[in-house]
Chains A and B, each alone.
Chain A
Amino acid sequence: GAVVSQHPSRVICKSGTSVKIECRSLDFQATTMFWYRQFPKKSLMLMATSNEGSKATYEQGVEKDKFLINHASLTLSTLTVTSAHPEDSSFYICSARGKGGEKLFFGSGTQLSVL
């Protein structure tokens, strides 16, 4: 089946630095990718919807200047957490769907820890 690769799986950074997370669709073209945030033992909360070649659509309460999303190609979307702070520490998960496809595939997630 289709695979979505998310990298890195874990990152630890100092407060004030920026962190980039990549989400790649390995065997299909992902016209749309979604970025979620998850706190321990909590639900996934949608942060933004990313369409190839256009600006991302952010959910209410999500700072677009804080969480920069780029979907430059049909196989890659990136989430950059800018000037990270400890409260940004969380599990970030991407998902991707192909054009006309009914199936949605999730990446394996990235655990971000900001010291």
Chain B
Amino acid sequence: GQQLNQSPQSMFIQEGEDVSMNCTSSSIFNTWLWYKQEPGEGPVLLIALYKAGELTSNGRLTAQFGITRKDSFLNISASIPSDVGIYFCAGQGGTSYGKLTFGQGTILTVHP
């Protein structure tokens, strides 16, 4: 089946630093999504990418859909303490909309 490799697994950074994480896949996805999850909560959508090469921003977050359709990255600029959480990439392939394959997650810790 499809697999997503997300890295890094965890990051410990100082407030104000920029963050970058990425996902790669062994197969092509039609849509890439980035979610943030906080303890005891469901994932919350941050950015959705629908076209290869697409670069999309949401405030301090920027994500890109790789040209090969097998990878995506998420950047967070000028991190703040409330950015703490687990970030997941998710890919959707084929015609079954909503059936997502998730990456392993990146645990982000921001020190004030």
Interface residues of B (CB under 8 A from A): 1, 33, 35, 40-45, 86, 88, 96-105, 107
Contacts and interface: CB of A to CB of B under 8 A. Distances in A.
Interface of A: 4, 6, 9, 32, 34, 41-46, 49, 60, 91, 93, 95, 97, 102-104, 106-109, 111
A25 B102 CA distance: 22
Contact of A109 (B41, B45, B103): B41
B43 A93 contact: yes
A97 B88 contact: no
A95 B43 CA distance: 10
B42 A43 contact: no
B42 A46 contact: no
Contacts of A42: 104-105
A41 B86 contact: yes
Given A34-B98, A42-B105, A104-B97, 17 more contacts: A9-B40, A34-B100, A43-B88, A43-B102, A44-B43, A44-B88, A44-B100, A45-B102, A46-B101, A49-B99, A91-B40, A93-B43, A104-B98, A104-B100, A108-B40, A108-B41, A108-B42
Contacts of B43: 44, 93, 106
Contacts of B44: 106
A46 B91 CA distance: 12
A109 B42 contact: yes
A93 B40 contact: no
CB-CB nearest 8 A-B residue pairs? A106-B42, A97-B98, A43-B102, A44-B102, A109-B42, A104-B98, A108-B42, A43-B104
* Most chain A CB within a 10 A radius of its CB, from B35, B43, B97, B104: B43
